[in-house]
Structure 1
Amino acid sequence: MCHLCPTTSRRQVLKGVSALAALSALSSLSLAGCADKPSRQLAGAKPLPNTAGALPLNQVRLLPSAFKTAQEANSRYLMALEPDRFLHNFRLFAGLKPKGEVYGGWEADTIAGHSLGHYMSALALLHAQTGSLEAKRRLSYIISELAEVQDAEGDGYVAGFTRKRKDKSIVDGKEIFAEIKAGDIRSAGFDLNGCWVPFYNWHKLYTGLFDAQTYCGLDQALPVAVKLGGYIEGVFAPLSEAQVQQVLDCEHGGINESFAELYARTNDQRWLALAEKLYHKKVLDPLADGKDELANIHANTQIPKLIGLARIHELTGEQRKGAAPQFFWEAVTEHHSYVIGGNADREYFYEPDAIANHITEQTCEGCNTYNMLKLTRHLYSWGVNAAYFDYYERAHLNHILAQIDPDSGMVTYMMPLMSGAVREHSTPFDSFWCCTGTGMESNAKHGDSIYWQSADTFFVNLYIPSSAEWREGKAAFSLNTSYPYQGEIKLKVEKAEQAFTLAMRIPAWAGDDWTLALNGKPVAVSQDRGYAYLSRRFKAGDEITLTLPMTLRLEGTQGDDSVVAVLRGPMVLAADLGSKDDAFDGTAPALAGNDLLAGFAAMDEGSALYKTQGIGRPADMTFSPFYANHQRRSAVYFKRFNDAQWAAEEVAYAAEQERLKDLAARSVDVMHLGEMQAERDHKLEAEISYPVVYRGRNGRDARTGGFFEFTFKVAPGPLKLQATYWGEERKRLFHILIDGKRIASQTLDFDKPGAFFDVQYDIPPALTQGKKQVRVRFEPEPGNSAGPVFGVLLFKPKPQSA
């Protein structure tokens, strides 16, 4: 660690968000005050309220900024989509003639229909955020179509998902529910009796229906929700508790939230009972007990369950159902999140505080952050604390805004943080990933958390250019700023008919280096839980100016402070490694020097552009905002060294290059698995086997019942086979054969965090003697997978010295 380079950790930023305490009636949880923000009240000032609600979205309008640009790009995309194409399967399986061809991508798979729910929510949010009448018209049409489908089904059923039978034929997904009701329940985690996540699918549809009612006043959505609830209730009615848990082992989104919300809207106790029945014990019980057992479980599968639990807690006040989402949020934000606010690698959580071992091209699924922001809103509403919005702002700016290409409106699935990786965006009509759906929603609601309200208090939590009409407070505001590029934020009072308290969030990274002025003059303010606030009778024309420090800082990763990221205010900066169209085959850049921050020179502070001077390795780099690098290759994390450490690193690097050079000289053949030309050249044959890419390396695996094999050249004399694996695979067993003879069995349960590693196998001489080539085969033990294997090498062993 370079003691001359100040660093901040996310734990310090969020240290105020860590204690539970009893509250009253609605909520049993509260947050301790921000430790970094001491409470200080002016004489006669009231303390801030403990709870708050977001200002309704239809009272907020975005002003020009990158967020409004993203909203406009998303709006163009939403208007290019056709409701009838999303409704194809719904009508087809209800015996009605479809009015449009089914879309491609996931909508052509057994998860078909999930995008309709996302699209409905996006239209509702767009109407609220912009007043779009066309969005509301489309939404009304979709609901009328769904009601027609329900009438044709006759039992409340409405869905677009399909089922793949054992004979590979694709049929109406409805047929799986007779099997489930009879106790025939089969799932491998994402597949339920041949259908891809049907309850997850329904959760999206329910959310779309509820958003239509909330944001557009379309009350005809509720009867559709109630009738579908009756059908789903009938599916679970005959099941034992153990069978319910078996169904819940398949990803089910936040279906518990759906029924909690249906209860909130109908006051019918049957829906609350069903919401509480759909409690996934395996995941939720440890979290309620305060145990972080998240490693090796699928990340986004869990977050909606916690949102559902949070909603049940709000409706019932049951403390345990509030404790689990609170603990989960703290565990994820403090121990499992990257600098941009996203989480997970290859869609899975890993051991806490292991970020430095998981900086790959498959980090930060968009859906995860979309759902973490939803969960953050719930928790903040229970206990006002600015630290929640320190996280929210971080993730919203650096991940959600980074996800969308502002020119095309297309979004990413993963947000790769590996040096040199590129962002892969969706296509308009042939992707429809889960992140396509959440991306539609995220970019239709950038105004939904800027402002919050509680009685006579108005909170400003995000500094996004916008206008707000606070109807309950009989006031109106406009917020103008170039933040986060510049530190000056101006909030103008456009209307004020009564006294109120104005609270502005002071980010934890600002420390005490901030000022607040009223009409150009410094003003004394109270402070509490990360807010600066003042109570008075404001008048139209008053202008409050908050100035925050826009200085560079380094932030170490949780668990490994030798790996750092560069930030300026809330904004993550990234080194530019070239166009996405140009290949990157260099090593991950590093920073070396005894005073790293002094090695950054401003090129254009107003645009947050910097260049290193003498501290970049292998060369100096230009830094700019990560979120805006839509078409660039970039580096976000850097191994840091002082001068002495870098000298030692160069020696170790030279030794490793010499080792690789020697091994190459002794190599007989090499197989680059997962690469088309290499696999063709080596006559690869495979069944139930798939190419993979991880950390920039190509590989291949084989699932149970499958295999992959290929031809290798051989040479006279002793030979060894070397296979490369990733050091943190979940336990799996497979076998390696040469010309049908097993030479080794391999179990992947190595504890080699953050590294690829090689395993060498001796080849019995009899298997290669007199041959020019052999067939090498990898096959899994039944119930296991083989690999992934990231390359295979056949080489001559090093001659032993005399």
Structure 2
Amino acid sequence: MRSFFSMLLLGSSLAVSAQIPPKPSAPGLKLFRIQDVHLLPSPFKSAENIDLKYMLAMSPDRLLAPFLREAGLTPKAQSYTNWENTGLDGHVGGHYLTALALMEASNGSKEAHDRLVYMLTELKRCQDANGDGYIGGVPGSKELWAEVFKGNVGAIGKKWVPFYNIHKTFAGLRDAYVLTGNEMAKDMFIKFGDWFVKLSTTLTPEQLQTILRTEHGGPNEELADLYALTGDKKYLTAAYSFSHKAILEPLENDQDKLDNLHANTQIPKIIGFKRIADVSGDNKYDEAAKFFWNTVVNKRSVAIGGNSRRELFNPANDFSSMITEVQGPETCNTYNMLKLTEALFLSDPNSNYMDFYERALYNHILSSQHPTKGGFVYFTPMRPGHYRIYSQPETSMWCCVGSGMENHAKYAEMIYAHDANSVYVNLFIPSTLNWKEKGLVLTQNNNFPEQEGTSFTVTDLKKAGQFTLQVRYPKWVKKNGFKVMVNGKAVTVPEQSNGYVAIKRTWKKGDKVTVALPMETTTERMPDNSNYEAVVHGPIVMAAEIGNKDIPLLFADDSRMGHVAAGKVLPLQNMPMFVSNTNNDVAFIKPVAGKPLTYSMNGLVYPEKFESLKLVPFYKVHDNRYVIYFQKETPQSFEVIKQKLAIEEEAAAKLAAATVDVINNGEQQPESDHFIESENSATGITRGRYYRNAKGWFSYKLVDKNKEGAKLRLTYLGTDRNKNFSVLINGKEIAKVSLDGSKGNDFYTEEYAIPADVLQAAGNGGLTVKFVAAEGSTTANIYETRLLRK
């Protein structure tokens, strides 16, 4: 999504009735219209083209089906499956609006333009039929929102994150207008905004804050945009109302309370805080956004720029699960962190923001799309030896598919920015900039990162004139290595306090600037400083490919958990490690002659069978198992660690082999994937582990395709006491449980046999497990529900 602030004036086609200036302390940098930046051949241009093919393989009528259904109109095609017909119906359609608008603007695609107009026309039919401004595919929309408007905010919890769902459409309408100037989209955006305003004035502040506990995207951002667009303060008031105070207040006080929170639930809220700050001058909201960014980037992000494991923020002092889990950083998180980074940079143009943006763009975003077949990655495992799985247009309707279509259509967005008389060069991506107001055409050519430098040519200038070329001086450049030549002559240009170098002169057509950007190879530890190292060359994270055995599926089917690379997990003790008696492992890492950005690691890697491994840029690694983080040991510790890991991995492997299905109770996505239902139920965290309990009941549908389930294994905490409840499978009680707190202060498990008659009667309908509290009691805090084979 383009920063709305940077797009307030896009030209005559986008007339706005009111403009809110930036707060006085903001320099007021703006992005260029994305139409005015053209990508030249590079991995980014290739990714854009692949993305367009994927988008055009999608069926607009299938994406529109949920919206038409909920508006009482007849769908023209059957809805997509997967997340699009199991509760999150319509969310991909919202993303599709933004992606089409971006692709029309950046690529000039007529097909994208035509599809966008068609989508908007059909959605307007839905909005008109609904009659109240609402547009959404949430199943049972009319009944749901009727209940919510009556004050029954608990109804939200009975659906799969409905506010998150409709936020995608709300944002898509905004982007369709801002990026392409479509007036119909503007009118629809305002009407949908009025629906949000009505809700915010109907419910009490307490009721709204209760709603905001559930993942809801960030409608506060779009409501602030509407204030900037119209000047009507009702939208700003609503933006404040839709800001989650439980997240905002600790950030305002520089408190990091993010451990184990669902990461992508929080980031869009912060984008909204920043947008409110930009249009209102609210310094508290601005400082909250900055503190959040600094915390996530500097304490919670791994080498590729991503964050979270199993969708949750790691405990800041313990990243061990980042290594052991296969559900690594989620692409949606980085998509949203780049949005936040953009907004912060525009009001404070500091190279620190762009250093992170570049790192995440190359190593997470660019790497998250298959380079030949298309398809998007949900989780990028940091676990050594695992792999990624890619979406398909007909089967995969995950959140990271929606944001993925956007990611690869917006590479031109942040390459350049400007103020009244300066061009900021933020990224070294081959491209042509057309600054129409100045009559300037600037072309950037390079083969970065294979080539350690870039050049800029004034390919057109209507009239010679003075302006400043502000070139980012990245922190990864070798000391004293940044060199500038203008028309073949070396010039001295000192680095400014914001990390940019200002080249100010009277320019003429044909002038050429060459910039040397020599890169260093370094190693980086995990954020908790544990003994895992990643190798980074300049901004490029390196990885070793270790083969593609035991990968059952690279392109996902339409199963609910199809986004998880669920193939064989290789034992950690068998993975390549760095073993040396030095802290300078870089000394072992040598370039391979004749192969750009390829490095050997002779003498550093063990076991010996991996000694010939080569490091290559991670964004080039696909269809393969890989290692980004290498366990770092000394020769003395190597054998001890190997034995300990072998014991742990053997136990984990045995449990995995015995497992039919597993639910991490209390965690949003695993519970959604198992169709949670509940009454008077709550979640919490103990020692970094989520749980769910109930004074009433809660239930899940367990997956048992091959009818192998025989036992239910539940994880409790030993101190849990005075908890009495029943465990039911398909309505039959299989256990009556009473916990007395006598098991000590550790987690422990209990197993319950499932009667043979219950298993036989289940047929193909699967197994529904239900936990029901005894009268006057609650269920235990249940941390994990695991279905086991015999």
> Does the TM-score normalized on the shorter chain lie above 0.5?
yes
CA drift of 1:25 comes to: 7.5
1:523 partner letter: V
Confirm whether residue 136 of structure 1 aligns to residue 117 of structure 2.
Answer: no
Q: Which residue does 1:5 correspond to in 2?
A: none
CA drift of 1:724 comes to: 11
Contact kept, 8 Å, 1:732 with 1:786, in 2: the verdict is no
Identity of aligned residues (%): 34
Q: Which residue does 2:396 correspond to in 1?
A: 431
Q: Which residue does 1:26 correspond to in 2?
A: 22
- Give unmatched runs, 5+ long, in structure 1: 1-23, 31-49, 163-171, 680-686, 693-698, 713-720, 752-757, 764-776, 795-802
CA drift of 1:408 comes to: 1.9
Following the alignment from structure 1 to structure 2, what is the Cα–Cα distance between the partners of residues 677 and 196? 21
Confirm whether residue 414 of structure 1 aligns to residue 379 of structure 2.
Answer: yes
Contact kept, 8 Å, 1:734 with 1:745, in 2: the verdict is no
Contact kept, 8 Å, 2:722 with 2:738, in 1: the verdict is no
Confirm whether residue 500 of structure 1 aligns to residue 467 of structure 2.
Answer: yes
Following the alignment from structure 2 to structure 1, what is the Cα–Cα distance between the partners of residues 594 and 531? 27
Q: 2:78 aligns with which of 76, 98, 101?
A: 101
Contact kept, 8 Å, 2:659 with 2:787, in 1: the verdict is no
Following the alignment from structure 2 to structure 1, what is the Cα–Cα distance between the partners of residues 782 and 522? 44
Contact kept, 8 Å, 1:117 with 1:206, in 2: the verdict is yes
Query: Which of these two proteins has the greater Rg computed from alpha carbons?
Result: 1
Relative to structure 1, the CA distance from residue 193 to residue 657 in structure 2 (aligned partners, 3 Å threshold; closer, same or farther) is closer
Q: 2:191 aligns with which of 211, 219, 227?
A: 227
CA drift of 1:133 comes to: 2.1
Confirm whether residue 538 of structure 1 aligns to residue 507 of structure 2.
Answer: yes
Q: 2:350 aligns with which of 341, 360, 385?
A: 385
Following the alignment from structure 1 to structure 2, what is the Cα–Cα distance between the partners of residues 468 and 108? 42
Q: Which residue does 1:282 correspond to in 2?
A: 246
Confirm whether residue 184 of structure 1 aligns to residue 148 of structure 2.
Answer: no
Q: Which residue does 1:601 correspond to in 2?
A: 590
Q: TM-score w.r.t. structure 1 length?
A: 0.78
Relative to structure 1, the CA distance from residue 272 to residue 657 in structure 2 (aligned partners, 3 Å threshold; closer, same or farther) is closer
| Aligned-partner SS, 1:421 | coil
Q: Which residue does 1:10 correspond to in 2?
A: none
Q: Which residue does 1:67 correspond to in 2?
A: 44
Confirm whether residue 82 of structure 1 aligns to residue 82 of structure 2.
Answer: no
Relative to structure 1, the CA distance from residue 362 to residue 26 in structure 2 (aligned partners, 3 Å threshold; closer, same or farther) is same
Residues 180-579 of structure 1 aligned to structure 2 (within 5 Å): 180-186=148-154, 192-359=156-323, 360-496=325-461, 497=463, 498-510=465-477, 511-528=479-496, 529-560=498-529, 562-579=531-548
Following the alignment from structure 1 to structure 2, what is the Cα–Cα distance between the partners of residues 577 and 402? 17
Q: Which residue does 2:564 correspond to in 1?
A: none
| Aligned-partner SS, 1:430 | coil
| Aligned-partner SS, 1:411 | coil
Contact kept, 8 Å, 1:255 with 1:275, in 2: the verdict is yes
Confirm whether residue 637 of structure 1 aligns to residue 601 of structure 2.
Answer: no
1:767-795: CA deviations, max 9, x gaps?
A: xxxxxxxxxx997975556343789999x
| Aligned-partner SS, 1:229 | helix
CA drift of 1:711 comes to: 5.8
| Aligned-partner SS, 2:94 | helix
Relative to structure 1, the CA distance from residue 344 to residue 748 in structure 2 (aligned partners, 3 Å threshold; closer, same or farther) is farther
Following the alignment from structure 1 to structure 2, what is the Cα–Cα distance between the partners of residues 211 and 762? 52
1:636 partner letter: I
CA drift of 1:350 comes to: 2.7
1:553-612: CA deviations, max 9, x gaps?
A: 111222315321101110000121112655663433211122422212322565311121
Following the alignment from structure 2 to structure 1, what is the Cα–Cα distance between the partners of residues 420 and 743? 57
1:147 partner letter: K
2:380 partner letter: M
| Aligned-partner SS, 1:631 | coil
Relative to structure 1, the CA distance from residue 198 to residue 588 in structure 2 (aligned partners, 3 Å threshold; closer, same or farther) is same
1:341-380: CA deviations, max 9, x gaps?
A: 0111111113224335522321211111001000001100
Relative to structure 1, the CA distance from residue 215 to residue 761 in structure 2 (aligned partners, 3 Å threshold; closer, same or farther) is closer
Q: Which residue does 1:800 correspond to in 2?
A: none
Following the alignment from structure 2 to structure 1, what is the Cα–Cα distance between the partners of residues 182 and 648? 69
Equivalenced residue count is: 688
Following the alignment from structure 2 to structure 1, what is the Cα–Cα distance between the partners of residues 388 and 507? 46
Relative to structure 1, the CA distance from residue 762 to residue 140 in structure 2 (aligned partners, 3 Å threshold; closer, same or farther) is closer
Contact kept, 8 Å, 2:423 with 2:470, in 1: the verdict is yes
Following the alignment from structure 2 to structure 1, what is the Cα–Cα distance between the partners of residues 397 and 742? 36
RMSD: 3.8
| Aligned-partner SS, 1:472 | helix
Q: Which has the larger displacement, 79-88 or 113-122? A: 79-88
Relative to structure 1, the CA distance from residue 121 to residue 385 in structure 2 (aligned partners, 3 Å threshold; closer, same or farther) is same
- Give unmatched runs, 5+ long, in structure 2: 1-19, 552-567, 664-670, 677-688, 703-707, 728-732, 753-768
Between the two structures, name the one with larger relative contact order (CA 8 Å, sep ≥ 6).
1
| Aligned-partner SS, 1:555 | strand
Following the alignment from structure 2 to structure 1, what is the Cα–Cα distance between the partners of residues 68 and 389? 33
| Aligned-partner SS, 1:503 | strand
Contact kept, 8 Å, 2:724 with 2:780, in 1: the verdict is yes
Following the alignment from structure 2 to structure 1, what is the Cα–Cα distance between the partners of residues 593 and 71? 60
2:590 partner letter: A
CA drift of 1:307 comes to: 0.8
Relative to structure 1, the CA distance from residue 156 to residue 784 in structure 2 (aligned partners, 3 Å threshold; closer, same or farther) is farther
